[in-house]
Chains A and B, each alone.
Chain A
Amino acid sequence: MKTKLLPRITEVMLYLLAAFVLFCAVTLYIPGSGWDQIISQYCEADANPVALRVFLTVAAAFALWILFELLLVMRTVFSDPFVERNVRAFVRMGIAAEVAGAMFAVRCIAYFTPMTAVCAIVMLLTGLFALVLAGVFRRAVAFKRENDLTI
């Protein structure tokens, strides 16, 4: 019961987070949703609010991709998580997070804010974490395969 509760809670949290990101991404283009005010405040020194809107959309797409891959991994937790598909999922998550981190880092150079810098570092670290986890999973899959073939 306890072993199944934590993955279930994590799955629900992932769904909620995905819904929130999707909500933000959609409302970004709805006039009068409040984003105009936020962007205009945030971009007082920023030359191009449209670029920020596109940047946020791309970042949201990467976040959704990572969440989608995580959800697929979470679904295998109850059956058999040590499969080649999960290794590829972690590699994809790592790449997505690194690209998103690089985007934030580039934005830091163009228009620095402390929160953008924090986002860049968090995304880059998340990417590294996912790539390391992919390596660990790859070894686990190899060990499991060997164990399965030990009669």
Chain B
Amino acid sequence: MIRVNLDVMLAKRHLSSGELAERLGITPANLSILKTNKGKAIRFSTLDALCRILECQPADILEYIPDAEESEAV
């Protein structure tokens, strides 16, 4: 699965969720979906804006975690 580590980056940049949502141009509810890993997909435009605002790389925000079944199979 892909985990979104937005909380970590927000803490590093001393930004609140509300402020980030406003600067991204999305609703706090949608940002919450993203933060809680409930989102199905993320648009490149959103990722681009996130990286620009948080001054980071996509890898700083997104993390791949192998599923338990997959890692057992390997």
Contact = CB atoms under 8 A, between A and B. Distances in A.
A binds B: yes
User: Which bracket fits the contact residues of B?
Assistant: 10 to 19
A146 interface: yes
Interface stretch (B12-20, B32-40, B65-73): B32-40
A150 B38 contact: no
Interface residues of A, number: 5
A149 B34 CA distance: 8
Contacts of A149: 33, 38-41
A103 B17 CA distance: 60
A120 to B, nearest CB: 45
A146 B42 CA distance: 11
Nearest to B4: A151
B4 to A, nearest CB: 9
Nearest to A146: B40
Nearest to B30: A151
B57 interface: no
Nearest to B38: A149
Contacts of A151: 26, 30-31, 33-34, 39, 41-43, 46
Nearest to A149: B40
Interface of A: 145-146, 149-151
23 contacts: A145-B40, A146-B40, A146-B41, A149-B33, A149-B38, A149-B39, A149-B40, A149-B41, A150-B39, A150-B40, A150-B41, A150-B42, A150-B43, A151-B26, A151-B30, A151-B31, A151-B33, A151-B34, A151-B39, A151-B41, A151-B42, A151-B43, A151-B46
Interface of B: 26, 30-31, 33-34, 38-43, 46
